Structure 1
């Protein structure tokens, strides 16, 4: 008597569940194509993690991921700042110079005996002042964002050089250094620990607050509306002038916060600090899925973009045979791919 083999009952169910998941993903992308670049950034980050683990090892472990966050906390903050600006269809080229002037001024004031908390506040206020100046030039004097923030970039860099052309170092007992001190959260095997710094906690808080503002407040909806169509936003009665100035104030303020986080980690400030960081922030924001034309983008996507750039530096360092100059070339290639992807998304959205 021949035995009859019955098919597994759970196989069709598993196939059906996978099919439903794929169909749901397709519906999400088709109904909202703007999420495609962000999903692509997440896929690239996961692929880089897998490649790094296979090729070099010791990537998927506590200390590597902790260092990735610690070393890129300032870039995450800058990416969040740039997200606000780019969502309105603008640009901010001054963030790197703001970090230079804020950090140099802050270290000099701290070494002169000023209260450290007052120094930190002044570093943030310096950034806010630069952002306010950019916003007023753009909104009330009709200066193009590129030109206005370029002027602020030269002004910030010049003032930093005027203050000091030599590296300024915080005193070893400066309380500001506490923001860069590492605290063990999970005690792993040997040196494989989960560690954080107050700077990382600040970056996480910045991301959470920015997410809430953009997605849960009237100000956030106005930011998206301005990027979609500034004229339409004005006709709807939205506070366009105030919001446009506000996004540059936010960008400058967060640049000051990034200066505090970066300076506390290294304990040193220079007039050349932050050169090219505005481009890194723009790259992280674009890689994270924020459209350069404005109106579409996500804070969490910008965070992923910043981590992609940070992990790329880790992998290049681990390889040892790749010249450091390749970082810029690879970043340019990734950015080009995402710009082309954004063009495709924009065309599909119009269709």
Structure 2
């Protein structure tokens, strides 16, 4: 009897503990889900801001939800999107790349001058991307093997690239009329709407789309992408897990430089094959702003490529509003961008502190 009684008591204890365990498991899952959702809040806020800006512009000025307006917006900001993707990967790893704007200038000027010198146009385009990758390689080596802070290493590359671009030419240079780089700005009419309400995109825009898709796959579906997140989250832990930290970090900067060269190809095509040494001034700041607005933490380890695309579109919508208004001075764009950036930095700070608590 005593054995039977003991067995019943144990069963009762197991049954009474089962609901508690289930509740604990459910609570744990909700806690993890809430933790993940918190990292999405800045990105969702950026989406809401972007839609609100478009709605405001439509009500105030009209013809915003217009195929011609939207296609022009997307095409003009294709280089910014490419740079934002590159900056996202770098910042997620815990670094920064201040050289991308200057690299755009150097690769643009050098590529066009090569075309003018008779070099095959397609080869010159490839060399523009290679030149950008070389700047990234130097930055990566300085950061990884010489323990130079990313800010200082890429700042040095920024001055170097800008100086080299100025040495090559201080006046605008133009690519030959038959250069293949012009093909990247060819208008592709995808929808023939009434009264010029056409959806017209360019190969340069689709290059930006392919870069975004490739970056999403790379960051979320490959071991190298997960290593980037691990480096930004806790480099020492990544090393203890045996991840290739050194190699990955160097490749991150190589990729950033190569994408800057690709952005130079797209932008040079957009402006009719013209290149000059002052191109890209401040573009690195626009890319960083897009990345932060899109929800990527400047401390590394957390971020989304698609969020940075949304951040770029927020900047594009802001530029469109200022252009359509006409009474707002262009220099206010910098002030408004800085204000939006400050709000999102404070939002990230509050969420990070709350998650830590």
**TM-score under structure 1 length normalisation:** 0.91
> Corresponding residue for 2:51?
46
Structure 2: how far apart are the matches of 1:241 and 1:26? 34
Whether the aligned pair in 1 keeps the contact of 2:82 and 2:211 (CA below 8 Å) is yes
> Corresponding residue for 1:17?
none
Q: Are residues 1:87 and 2:88 paired?
A: no
Residue-by-residue CA offset, 1:71-102 (whole Å, 9 max, x unaligned): 00000000000001000111000000100000
> Corresponding residue for 1:144?
149
Superposed displacement of residue 28, structure 1: 5.3
Alignment of 1:230-241 (within 5 A): 230-241=235-246
Alignment of 1:187-226 (within 5 A): 187-226=192-231
The runs of 5 or more residues in structure 2 that have no matched partner are: 1-29
Alignment of 1:111-126 (within 5 A): 111-126=116-131
Alignment of 1:184-333 (within 5 A): 184-266=189-271, 267-333=273-339
Structure 2: how far apart are the matches of 1:187 and 1:160? 41
Residue-by-residue CA offset, 1:200-257 (whole Å, 9 max, x unaligned): 0100000000000000000110000111110011111111101111110110010000
Structure 1: how far apart are the matches of 2:283 and 2:208? 16
Structure 1: how far apart are the matches of 2:33 and 2:66? 32
Distance change (3 Å), C-alpha of 1:61 and 1:51:
same
Residue-by-residue CA offset, 1:277-329 (whole Å, 9 max, x unaligned): 00000000000000000000000000010111011111100000000000000
Whether the aligned pair in 1 keeps the contact of 2:35 and 2:355 (CA below 8 Å) is no
Residue-by-residue CA offset, 1:174-205 (whole Å, 9 max, x unaligned): 22111111110010011110111010010000
Structure 2 residue matching 1:190: 3-state secondary structure: helix
In the alignment, which of 71, 76, 88 is matched to residue 76 of structure 2? 71
Structure 1: how far apart are the matches of 2:311 and 2:101? 18
The runs of 5 or more residues in structure 1 that have no matched partner are: 1-24
Structure 1: how far apart are the matches of 2:59 and 2:37? 34
**Count of aligned pairs:** 327
Alignment of 1:98-117 (within 5 A): 98-117=103-122
Superposition RMSD in Å: 1.3
**TM-score under structure 2 length normalisation:** 0.90
Structure 1: how far apart are the matches of 2:354 and 2:133? 38
> Corresponding residue for 2:22?
none
Superposed displacement of residue 151, structure 1: 0.3
> Corresponding residue for 1:166?
171
Structure 2 residue matching 1:66: 3-state secondary structure: helix
* Structure 1 stretch displaced more, 30-39 or 235-244: 30-39
Whether the aligned pair in 1 keeps the contact of 2:187 and 2:201 (CA below 8 Å) is yes
> Corresponding residue for 1:334?
340
Whether the aligned pair in 1 keeps the contact of 2:91 and 2:298 (CA below 8 Å) is yes
In the alignment, which of 59, 65, 70 is matched to residue 60 of structure 1? 65
